[in-house]
């Protein structure tokens, strides 16, 4: 799944697709109504590719979580966005058992779930994580492992916690 061009813009609802970079920022198009907005360089913008969720041992990229959510959805369905906090926490525990409960809030879980549903609605989700292993020849290619970088951000910037 390619999350490079999917953006979350602070202060703006929904998700946006990167259209172009301008001299003073970005031009983005809403996934909901296809309206274009200019995003200045001073606004906080996060690519979904750069977002990860805290666990007790590492940060897990959002793409991996979306793959886990797809598998969970096939077997159990998804909770409603307006579900109680404990229902959301139980859902996320099933998807990512070791998520850091002190730094990942129910509002973060709700946002990740809403992003997943929005990407699914616009058919931007796929299980490309499993595809490279099928046709891999093993010559001059990297192993078919998920690229996990050490630079990650919180699921959303609502609350930065300095423990």
Residues 90-132: tens digit of each pLDDT: 999 999 999 999 999 999 999 999 999 999 999 998 754 444 3
* CATH number attached to the domain at 52-129: 1.10.10.1650
Domain segments of the chain: what residues? 6-48, 52-129
Helices H, strands E: what count in the chain?
4, 7
Say if CB 155 and CB 104 are below 8 A apart.
yes
Element housing 53 (H / E): strand 52-54
Q: Secondary structure of 114-149 in the HEC alphabet?
A: HHHHHHHHCCCCCCCCCHHHHCCCCCCCCCCCCCCC
Tokens coding 27: 């031009």
Per-residue pLDDT, 118 = 95
Per-residue pLDDT, 1 = 66
Q: Which CATH architecture has domain 6-48?
A: Roll (2.30)
Per-residue pLDDT, averaged over 49-56, amounts to: 96
For residue 44, the SS3 value is coil
What is the pTM (predicted TM-score) of this model? Answer: 0.76
């Amino acid at each position: 799944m390619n999350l490079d061009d999917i953006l979350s813009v602070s202060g703006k609802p929904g998700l946006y697709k990167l259209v172009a970079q301008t001299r003073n920022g970005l031009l983005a198009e809403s996934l909901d109504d296809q309206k274009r907005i200019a995003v200045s360089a001073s606004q906080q913008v996060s690519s979904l590719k750069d977002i990860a969720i805290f666990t007790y041992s590492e940060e897990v990229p959002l793409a991996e979580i979306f793959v886990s959510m797809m598998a969970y959805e096939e077997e159990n369905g998804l909770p409603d966005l307006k579900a109680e906090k404990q229902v959301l926490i139980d859902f996320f525990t099933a998807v990512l058992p070791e998520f850091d409960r002190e730094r990942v809030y129910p509002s973060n879980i709700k946002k990740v779930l809403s992003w997943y549903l929005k990407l699914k609605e616009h058919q931007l989700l796929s299980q490309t994580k499993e595809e490279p292993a099928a046709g891999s020849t093993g010559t001059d290619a990297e192993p078919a492992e998920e690229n996990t970088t050490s630079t990650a951000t919180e699921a959303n910037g609502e609350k930065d916690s300095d423990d």
